[in-house]
Structure 1
């Protein structure tokens, strides 16, 4: 078929117009992606992986051996050592970098709800340090010796130190029973809520050890055989011992001492609803909606890496170490708990069991969805955290001025020095006077 002269001219012009239209639409789509606001609450693990993992996949193998301690630097006069290697990381393309910068902006407003005997003090120290290093307003009680802000979910104006100019808190990491309405009044509007849970039976053992709960049950110590942990005596007949519990006199002790559905209680479940399964299910669903991240103590490193991804933090922000109290709470005598004891305890602690099971399964599912990259990031973080801990716990005379953790595909490079080690793993009382600077 022959084309006329007019048609011959029309076709190239039409093709050029279509190409220009395609380019215009492409740029519009890119502009929409770049200008898209960050998510307010829950962010899928897949999304965070896409925005953060912007380096070439061909370099994954280079990161598996990335914590070589003791390599001296020849580029600086300061005495320090390097942790990790650069791994020949390829540079990200500009579009991904721009998208990452817009979507993955560090989130600064966090409310960490401590749950008794779930490793919450270890995590709260991480949160305190984050607030200190970013000069944020951290919730503080009137005096440094108060471990709780408020009482049984009620926070009065006299229960906390007021920020200047009517400002709201950026960070909360104290003990306080969760009261959604009150916290929404006190925290910044875009606050993300975080907490941590622990296997209920292990949590009870820790509470018995730390709070000496056997003293609150008259007759329990006498019925405990020599060489047997008191918690075993309690678990043999929890239905018998629960009504015999003797409340402490101090209000703060009443909130600290707990033996039944304690995790659910700290997160706001009323005692009258302990045996109401419908109310418990609604309560757990509420936590799912309102909390961005629920960590699990048995998966602490994985939980912290997930928190890092959702908050767009760095490895430096989630470094952790166990405090002295955590190391002292292990039983010297192993508690022999039978399956019958466990079932009895679980039946009387339905709310805690459901809460823990739901979020443990959720975390395991997210780890699986994260795939190889997430597992490699956790392994890398564990090595970095271990090396930083070894450096900070070494004798001062043998410790160099600082160490440098090299850049990886998951986090920027950073250094750790002696002043950092002075803050590393400190208790709540240490942070109180230092965090007050944001109040002036």
Structure 2
């Protein structure tokens, strides 16, 4: 009954859907009902789709996914995730798609071959993790058919605050002072500022905003593209639940705990933290309602998958947090520890591994530093000759 109640709780079931399911309970056996619900859920409410593809921690027969597209959504913890994908690829000798200029593969949604370093003999790239907006059909031209798509998103109010404090305030005609919260100042009169770049920025990045063809019902068109995005991606992580998200990603991709250790990158410690108050959240939802729907959808999906991930899932998350603390302490003064290493013992969830001073160097590299390291590793002198910064 608990499982049945969980099925009914999914927000995508309308009242008519619930009545239909309840009607079925009176005329179908429990076996047939379970089969019908599974089919109904996967067709009309695709939230826990990835549960079916889940790998248990002790499953040794699975082969780790080496082909990944990571959508680097700005100001969502994405630089930390990019560092993970770069380090994973370095340890597996994969081929990265890298830009010839700065850290953008493209400022549009189309990848121009003249803007990227070529792969050997025109072969597909294994990992793509630089800035670019999502375009499924265009990315298929450059990646493997079995590529796993991953992204990370952030609570919209927190994302707005990070955006405003990170980018030039003068450009937004906002002035910072001890007496003024620039987020509140922006939300009181968003029309006076650069509202377009701060209106549903994540939905825009993932290419699911309504189009001119959706004028009759823009929310319906948005949700149609949202469900397609759900099908396209193996997992969309939630920044506020980074460690749970990463352990889940590790299980879905059949990786090791070593592959997902991290030290947060590109974090602005100067701006004040905190959530929007009720009034400001209402104001923000008026200009970014699609981002709020997007976040609620994938936050609920994360909950759903974790609920199906076994009794030991939270045990693994706690173990992972302990590893992260040990790595953080070891790497805090890694230059004084050259020649030493941190040994992580085997566990029920992963094989043992070693964190060296070189590991710490890569973990603490900035975005451009690790991209440059990967570029030199993959292309040698050609990287230094061709790659430029604006």
Cα deviation, residue 174, structure 1: 0.5
Deviation string 1:101-136 (CA, Å, 9 cap, x unpaired) is: 43x111100010011110000100000111111111
Q: Count matched residues.
A: 329
1:233 corresponds to 2:185: yes
Give the corresponding residue for 1:166.
122
Q: Does 1:298 align with 2:298?
A: no
Who is 2:90 aligned against?
132
Task: Decide whether the 8 Å contact of 1:295 with 1:304 is kept in 2.
Answer: yes
Rg larger for:
1
Write the distance in 2 (CA, Å) between the matches of 1:173 and 1:391.
27
Q: 1:154 aligns to what SS in structure 2?
A: coil
SS at match of 2:198: coil
Q: Which residue of 1 aligns with 2:104?
A: 148
Equivalent residues of 1:320, 1:385 under 8 A apart? yes
Cα distance in 2 for residues equivalent to 1:271 and 1:148: 25
User: How far is the alpha carbon of 1:345 from its aligned partner?
Assistant: 0.8
CA pair 390-226 structure 1, distance change in 2 beyond 3 A: closer
Q: 1:414: how far off?
A: 0.7
Supply the distance in 2 between the matched residues of 1:301 and 1:184 (Cα, whole angstroms). Answer: 30
CA–CA distance in 2 between the matches of 1:379 and 1:261? 34
Partners of 2:370 and 2:189 in 1: CA distance: 42
Shift of 1:216: 2.9
Deviation string 1:78-110 (CA, Å, 9 cap, x unpaired) is xxxxxxxxxxxxxxxxxxxxxx343x1111000
CA distance in 1, matches of 2:355, 2:262: 13
Q: Is residue 363 of structure 2 the alignment partner of residue 356 of structure 1?
A: no
The separation in 2 between residues aligned to 1:313 and 1:167, in whole angstroms, is 24
Q: Supply the distance in 1 between the matched residues of 2:275 and 2:241 (Cα, whole angstroms).
A: 24
Return the offset for 1:398: 5.6
Which residue of 221, 245, 256 maps to 2:194? Answer: 245
SS of residue paired to 1:118: coil
Report the counterpart of residue 271 of structure 2 in structure 1: 331
Q: Check conservation: 1:391, 1:399, Cα contact below 8 A.
A: no
Distance 2:342 2:369 in 1: 24
Matches within 5 A, 1:12-51: 43-44=50-51, 47-49=54-56
Question: Residues 363 and 165 from structure 1, CA distance in 2 versus in 1: closer, same or farther, beyond 3 angstroms?
Answer: same
Superposed CA RMSD in Å reads 2.4
Partners of 1:177 and 1:294 lie apart in 2 by 15
TM-score normalised to structure 2 length: 0.78
Does 2:256 match 1:307? no
Corresponding position: 1:397 with 2:353: no
In structure 2, the partner of 1:208 is 164
Distance of aligned partners of 1:236 and 1:367 in 2 relative to their CA distance in 1, 3 Å threshold: same
Question: Residues 44 and 355 from structure 1, CA distance in 2 versus in 1: closer, same or farther, beyond 3 angstroms?
Answer: same
Structure 1: distance between partners of 2:222 and 2:140: 22
Runs of 4+ in 1 over 4 A off after TM superposition: 270-275
Structure-2 change in CA distance of 1:438 and 1:371 (3 Å): same
Matched, 1:277 2:231: no
Deviation of 1:421 (Å): 1.1
Structure 2 residue 370 is the aligned partner of structure 1 residue 431: yes
1:185-223 Cα offsets, whole Å, 9 max, x none, are: 1112210000001000100000001103x42334x43xx
Matched, 1:107 2:65: yes
Q: Does 1:121 align with 2:79?
A: yes
1:193 corresponds in structure 2 to 149
Decide whether aligned partners of structure 1 residues 336 and 136 sit closer, same or farther in structure 2, where only a CA change above 3 A counts: closer
1:380: which partner in 2? 319
Change (3 A) 1:45 1:400: farther
Q: Distance in 2 between matches of 1:363 and 1:415?
A: 30
For the residues of structure 1 that align with 2:285 and 2:124, how far apart are their CA atoms?
40
1:53-68 to 2 correspondence within 5 Å?
53=58
CA contact (8 A) 2:334 2:360 kept: no
Using structure 1 for the length normalisation, give the TM-score.
0.70
Find the aligned partners of 1:175 and 1:125 in 2 and give their Cα distance.
Answer: 13
